Amino acid sequence: MNSMNWVRGFNATVGWVAPQHVASKLRREFMTPRELPPRDWELPLLAQAERVTLRFGLSALRWGSGPAVLLMHGWEGRPTQFAELIKALVQAGYGVVALDAPAHGRSPGREANVVLFARALLEAASELPPLKAVIGHSMGGASALLATQLGLRTEALISIAAPSRILTMLRRFARYMGLPAQARAHFVRLVEEKAGMPAGQLDVTRYQLDFPGLIVHAVDDPLVPFSEAEAIHEAWFDSQLLRLEQGGHQRVLADPRLLQAVLQLLGEVRHTPSSALAS
């Protein structure tokens, strides 16, 4: 029996006897990211970055100058995972700021969740010029969409490999970890309490998405099904969906078609009057 099967068996057995205990333990593990070092191919871009600390302690990296583009990585991710996209944006004349999410990199905290990611984007936006675009990968994409519902203003938004509905992802994770039904319910409730928002509200079908957008997702993504991208696209009237047959969950970030689609979208909104954005 491999270690994952052992963990599932343990959760399934103990979850019947002590569902709250197992759910509480899994909630802490679920919200505590591991620190994963940058890969070798990320290091040159990291060396070129300017490290900045925002007013409330969030850390970020900055490249270039020009209209501001704000980036948010995914769970256990890093700003430099956007390396190819950052280089393309800077070459095209944009100023890029990429956050270390809460409890990631040099940003403070031990635990994180999609609501904290979203509030971090709001904090960063309050210290930056008006945003040309916000780009998020995976949980970063989900948090960017949520942040717009909490007051974030941007001319365009790009969601990459992001889930459409957080409750679905929580239930899928709890089942994968072997939790029985009662323990799964406790797990979701504990996550909601910690995040300070019902998971059912974190659903793009409930959002008002009144800005141009691009949704990018690979069909072979093993972590977030492509159907999540279709659900976001259906709920978001002014969005384009870029379907990639290959790219998985991470490699998609360097796909030349993604880079081209992002630059094309930003070019299309380049001359949008600010009065139209405020209406």
Asked if 62 and 20 touch (Cβ cutoff 8 Å), the reply is no
For 91-248, strand residue ranges (E) read 95-99, 131-137, 157-160, 213-218, 239-244
Please tell me the distance from the alpha carbon of residue 74 to that of residue 143, in angstroms, as a whole number: 9
Q: What is the pLDDT of residue 8?
A: 66
Instruction: Identify whether the C-beta of residue 97 lies closer than 8 Å to the C-beta of residue 123.
Output: no
Q: What is the pLDDT of residue 21?
A: 86
Per-residue pLDDT at 20: 87
Show pLDDT as tens, one digit a residue, over the chain (279 residues).
567 776 666 666 656 767 888 899 999 999 999 999 999 999 999 999 999 999 889 999 999 999 999 999 999 999 999 999 999 999 999 999 999 999 999 999 999 999 999 999 999 999 999 999 999 999 999 999 999 999 999 999 999 999 999 999 999 999 888 888 898 999 999 999 999 999 999 999 999 999 999 999 999 999 999 999 999 999 999 999 999 999 999 999 999 999 999 999 999 986 544 333 332
pTM confidence score: 0.92
CA distance 210 to 148: 9
Q: What was the pLDDT predicted at 14?
A: 59
Quote the pLDDT of residue 269. Answer: 84
CATH class belonging to 43-164+194-270 = alpha beta
| Domain residue extents for the chain | 43-164+194-270
Question: Which residues partner with 134 through β-bridges?
Answer: 70, 157
| DSSP alpha helix (H) spans, 102-165 | 114-126, 139-149
- Give dist(CA 104, CA 275) in Å, integer: 36
pLDDT computed for residue 3 by the predictor? 75
pLDDT of res. 180 = 87
Give the pLDDT confidence score for residue 273 in this predicted structure. Answer: 41
From CA 269, how far away is CA 264, in angstroms rounded?
9
- The amino acid at 85: L
pLDDT of the residue at 272: 46
Per-residue model confidence (pLDDT) at position 13: 65
What confidence score (pLDDT) does residue 10 get? 64
pLDDT of residue 18: 77
Give the model's pLDDT for residue 179: 87
